[in-house]
Amino acid sequence: MPHVLQEIRDAGILISDQDPRVILMIKAYLQMDGFRRFHAANSAAEVLPMAVEVHPDLIMLDVRLSERIGVETLQGIRAHPGLAATPVVALVGDYTSESKLELLRCGATDLLSKPLHEAELIARTRNVLAAKISQDRLSEHFQQLEDAVRTRNSELHAARRELVLCLARAAEVRDDDTGHHILRVGRYARVIGEELGMEPEQLDLLESAAQLHDIGKIGIPDNVLLKPGKLTPEEYAIIQKHCGFGKKIIDGSVVRELYRDATTARAHAELGATIMSVSESPFLSVAKRVALTHHECWDGSGYPVGLAGEDIPIEGRIVAVADVFDALSVKRPYKPAYPLEKCFEILREGRGTQFDPTVIDAFFKRRDDVVQIQIDFADVD
């Protein structure tokens, strides 16, 4: 095809031979066929640094096996990450089947024997460059596919995240009209994570996942969730179930239970299970750990599992502090907002029992940031 032939002739060719006359001959033959872009090296030692600089589309390299000239250069080209795919045509004298095999094993793409034959030189040059162009296009196509898949996965993960955050907001609005509680808890968790040295990507996951900590409230009846007075032991046991509910919602088991219980909802169940799948979502994996473990205590007295110490995931330990501080510092149906100093005092008293000492210490080191978050996202009547 004419445009392919023109692309071949536009290729850059690096020629190396100890005999300058060979270089001139190759250039002359190829120029007569329409090639115009050449680079020349008079020794094999010059080839690798020159190739790194000019990035040729084809290298023609003088190789003499008996003297080991050019062999190390050929191996160096193949070992260089920027040149490994660059085709190399070895210029050789008489060679046996064994020497031809050795050169191919060393990485030669093709061989040209000297003295050179014009028609063979042009034909092999065209063929090698045509193969390179095809390979480049294939690699570019694969890269485009990878980019498309990466973009689609990113969109899917973003959709999953937004869907679950919508559920979290739906749960929270039942006892918090502003929805600021989940935002504050997310921000508190982030500043604690920063103080603990988490990486930015981890902090992004933590802040978003922390907002899902009470998503299991969806499963708690209003007469218990919104009760203004003290809960009975039976009611408190119901409240404790929200951790397990949250885990089920995030990992999709609620949707799968729906499918088992109602065959008419099959399409919805399958769609929901796909959206909620955590197999490829670090965000939902963190969110599940947070939802399940943010009421566990450092000394093992928490719920729903009774984990203790570092058996509690770090995300759960962080959100435990953030959630309790916010619950203390704002008005709820069952309690007034406590003064700031009283909130801090209660947290200090829980150090080493309810809360991880390291996490509590990180929280207090960022006290100014915590107060600012409280101001920025205050619930104002």
Tell me the CATH number at 370. Answer: 1.10.3210.10
Instruction: Evaluate whether residue 302 is within a structural domain.
Output: yes
Distance (Å) of CA 88 to CA 57, 98, 105, 150: 9, 19, 12, 34
pLDDT by 10s per residue, the chain, length 381:
567 788 899 999 999 998 999 999 999 999 999 999 999 998 888 999 999 999 999 999 998 876 777 888 999 999 999 999 999 999 988 777 788 888 888 899 999 988 899 999 999 999 999 999 998 899 889 899 999 988 888 887 777 667 767 777 776 666 655 468 888 999 999 999 999 999 999 999 999 899 988 888 878 887 887 777 788 888 888 888 888 888 887 776 544 443 444 443 334 334 344 444 434 578 888 989 999 999 999 999 999 999 999 999 999 999 999 999 999 998 876 678 899 999 999 999 999 999 999 999 999 999 999 999 999 988 766
3-class DSSP state of 331? coil
User: What phi and psi values does residue 147 have, to the nearest 5 degrees?
Assistant: -65, -40
Instruction: Evaluate whether residue 303 is within a structural domain.
Output: yes
- Global confidence as pTM: 0.58
Sign of CA dihedral 167, 171, 176, 180: negative
Structural domain span for residue 264? 173-376
Instruction: Evaluate whether residue 59 is within a structural domain.
Output: yes
Query: How far apart are alpha carbons 130 and 124 in whole angstroms?
Result: 10
Tell me the CATH number at 58. Answer: 3.40.50.2300
The residue type at 96: T
Instruction: Evaluate whether residue 168 is within a structural domain.
Output: no
Instruction: Evaluate whether residue 153 is within a structural domain.
Output: no
Please list, in sequence order, all residues whose beta carbon lies within 8 angstroms of the beta carbon of residue 278, skipping any fewer than 6 positions away: 250, 251, 252, 284, 285, 288
Same domain (yes/no): 179, 45: no
Same domain (yes/no): 305, 236: yes
Same domain (yes/no): 355, 240: yes
Structure tokens at 5: 């032939």
E strands present in 107-146: 110-113
Same domain (yes/no): 110, 244: no
Same domain (yes/no): 246, 318: yes
Structure tokens at 367: 């006290």
- Catalytic residues, which ones? 217
Same domain (yes/no): 208, 128: no
Instruction: Evaluate whether residue 159 is within a structural domain.
Output: no
Q: Which of 53, 189, 186, 32 is nearest to 121 (CA)?
A: 32
3-class DSSP state of 111? strand
Query: How far apart are alpha carbons 123 and 116 in whole angstroms?
Result: 12
Q: How many domains is the chain built from?
A: 2
3-class DSSP state of 112? strand
